[in-house]
Every structure is written in structure tokens, then in C-alpha cells.
Amino acid sequence: MGFVLNPQFAILAISLLPELIAAVAETVEAVQTNLSDAPPEEKKRAALEAACAWYDAADENLKFSEAIDAEVKGQLLPGLIEFIYKGMKHTPAQESTADDQ
């Protein structure tokens, strides 16, 4: 059986993805600054908690189903956070910081 895309989830992804990526990136940056001495997993957990809170606030107006909420919080947000953290490792500022240590 192949993957079945929920139409409501597709609408969410298309309509909110730019705003969601920006919000998650800002969250990751804030966590990096505020928890600079914390281990990476703690930073990712804090970023996920903040991103889920952002999604919950947005979802008060959108009223997506619990199944959609579970997909966003269980798959989409953790994936975006991981993607952003991996991207940060390859920026010139991050590489020079790694060389200084």
C-alpha cells in the first residue's frame, strides 16, 4: 500500500510552510543563543517544545484534526528542526566557530 496524503495536511503544508519554516528557524536560533552551553539534544527538545507551542497557537484558528496535529508535531516539526540544525552546521559562521574550539 502506498503513501496516502491527507488533503487537509497538504493544504496546511502549502499554506503555512513558509511561515512555519521562518518560525522554526527563529526558534532554533533563540534556543541556540539561550542554551548555548546545553547539549544538542536538549536544544532540539527545547526548540520542538517552542515550535509546538507556536503551532498550537496557530491551530486555534485553523482547527485541524487531532490526526493532523499529531503529524505536524510528530513528523513535520521535528524534521524541520533537524533540517535547520544540520543547515546551521554548514554555514560559514558555524564552521569558523567549530575550528576555533
Would 55 be classed as within a structural domain?
yes
47, 83 contact by CB (below 8 A)? no
Confidence at residue 48, expressed as pLDDT on a 0 to 100 scale: 93
pLDDT at 89 over 80: no
Confidence at residue 3, expressed as pLDDT on a 0 to 100 scale: 58
Would 54 be classed as within a structural domain?
yes
Would 16 be classed as within a structural domain?
no
pLDDT band at 90 (very low <50, low <70, confident <90, very high): low
Write down the mean pLDDT value for the chain: 81
Would 26 be classed as within a structural domain?
no
DSSP-assigned letter for residue 37? T
10 Å CB burial of residue 66 (0-12, 13-18, 19+) is exposed
Confidence at residue 99, expressed as pLDDT on a 0 to 100 scale: 47
pLDDT at 14 over 60: yes
pTM above 0.95?
Answer: no
Would 58 be classed as within a structural domain?
yes
pLDDT band at 73 (very low <50, low <70, confident <90, very high): very high
- The count of structural domains within the chain is 1
DSSP-assigned letter for residue 75? I
Domain that holds residue 77: 38-88
Would 48 be classed as within a structural domain?
yes
- The answer for residues whose C-beta is within 8 angstroms of residue 89's C-beta and 6 or more apart is 95, 98
